[in-house]
Chain A
Amino acid sequence: MIWRASGFRAWLLQRLSAVYMALFIGMFVLHLVLDAPSSYQEWRTWMALPFITVTASIFFAALLIHAWVGLRDVIIDYVHPLGMRFVLLALVAAGLLAMGLWVLRILMMGGAA
C-alpha cells in the first residue's frame, strides 16, 4: 500500500502518523515521569503489558511510515536520474524494513521473557 501512496495518501499518512507519535510519546513520557520503573525487571514487565506492546508496535510502524514518506520526499525533490532514485529508495526501504523487523523482534522477545 505504502509503496503506491502517491500524493494525498502519503501526505495523510504522514500527518496521521505524526499525531499518533505525539500522543504515544506524551503517554510514554508521562508514565516515565509519574511512575518510573525502579528496576530493569519492572521496566520489562511494563513493556510486556499487551497494551504497551501493541501501542509501541503501532508507534514504531507510524515512525517507519513517517520516515519513509519524509525520506521519499527528499529523494523525489533532489535525486532526478531515475536509476539513482530507484537505488536510493530501495536502500531506504530496505533499511527501514530491517529496523522494523528488529523492533518487532525486540518487542516480541520482551513479551516472551
Chain B
Amino acid sequence: MRFSIYRYNPETDAAPSMQDFDLPDADVAPGMMLLDALRLIKVSDETLSFRHSCGEGVCGSDAMNINGRNGLACITPLASLKQPIEIRPVPGMPVIRDLVVDMSQFYHQYRAIQPYLIVHDPEPEVEYLQTPEQRDELDGLYECILCGCCSTACPSFWWNPDKFRGPAALLQAYRFLADSRDQATAERLEALEGPYRLFRCHTVMNCVDVCPKGLNPTKAIGKIKKLMLKHLI
C-alpha cells in the first residue's frame, strides 16, 4: 500500500516536501483504519509526526487532509482510499511539524464565542431544568469534538482566520443560543454582528461536507441569522 506524506520540519527544512512510503500488503489487515497504517509507518520512520489519541473519532486529535479531503485518520477505512494515499496537514494552519499544525487561531475563535452557559438570574438551588423538547434543540450541536476539519476546509476561514469565527465556533455559538438555560442571547447576537465574525460565511458548505461527526454548521449559521432577524422585529 503506497502513501505520499507531507513532511516539513521548519527547523531544518527549507521547504515542505512529499515523501513516499510503502506499507507491505502483509501488514494491512482487513478493516484497518488510516491511523493504524500511519502508526505502522512511524515504526519504520520515527521522525514522522502526527497527533492522535483515542483512536475512535472521539478526541478529534488526528484531523488531516486525506486525498484532498479533511477527515479523522482513526475513522477513515484504508480500503476506502485511492492509492497512493496522499496525506497533508489540514490546510490554512501554520505547520509545526509534518502533520502537526498550530491550532491557536482556531481555539481563539472558539473561546471568543463564550462557549459556556451565561446566566444572569441567581443560580437555582437545584439543577437547571430542561424539558425533553428543549434538550432536543441541542442535538446536532453538542456533539462537536473541535477537531477543526470544518474550519480548515472553509475558504472564508482561510482568507480571514483572524476575524471570521469559522464554522466550528459558529456551531458552538448556536449551541449556546439554542440552550434554554442560557440568558445571554442578545449579547451573543450582538457579539456576532459586523461584516466578519458571522457574515463571512457564504454557505460554501465545505464544513458540512467534511464533518466527521455528520454535523451541519451551515444550518446552525442560518439559524443564528434567523434569530438575529427575530431580535430585530
Contacts and interface: CB of A to CB of B under 8 A. Distances in A.
Interface of A: 6-8, 10-12, 73, 76-78
Interface in B162-200: 192-200
A77 B159 contact: yes
B225 A11 contact: yes
A12 B229 CA distance: 8
B159 A10 contact: no
Contacts of B198: 7
Contacts of A78: 159
Contact of A76 (B193, B195, B229, B232): B195
Measured as residues with beta carbon below 8 angstroms from the partner, the interface class of chain B is 10 to 19
B223 to A, nearest CB: 14
Contact of B160 (A6, A10, A77): A77
A7 B197 contact: yes
Nearest to A7: B199
Per DSSP, chain B at the interface is loop
Per DSSP, chain A at the interface is helix
B202 A6 contact: no
B200 A77 contact: yes
Contacts of A8: 193, 199, 225, 228, 232
B65 interface: no
A113 to B, nearest CB: 43
A21 to B, nearest CB: 19
Contacts of A73: 202
Q: Name the residue in B195, B197, B202 with the highest tally of chain A Cβ atoms < 10 Å from its Cβ.
A: B195
Contacts of B159: 77-78
Nearest to B189: A8
Given A12-B229, A77-B200, A7 B193 contact: yes
A7 B192 CA distance: 9
Contacts of B202: 73, 77
B156 A77 contact: yes
A11 B199 contact: yes
A10 B196 CA distance: 12
Contacts of B199: 6-8, 10-11
Given A12-B229, A73-B202, A77-B200, A7 B156 contact: no
Nearest to A73: B202
Contacts of B160: 76-77
Interface in B185-220: 192-200, 202
A78 B192 CA distance: 21
18 contacts: A6-B193, A6-B195, A6-B199, A7-B192, A7-B194, A7-B198, A7-B199, A8-B225, A8-B228, A10-B195, A12-B229, A12-B232, A76-B160, A76-B195, A76-B196, A76-B200, A77-B202, A78-B159
Contacts of A76: 160, 195-196, 200
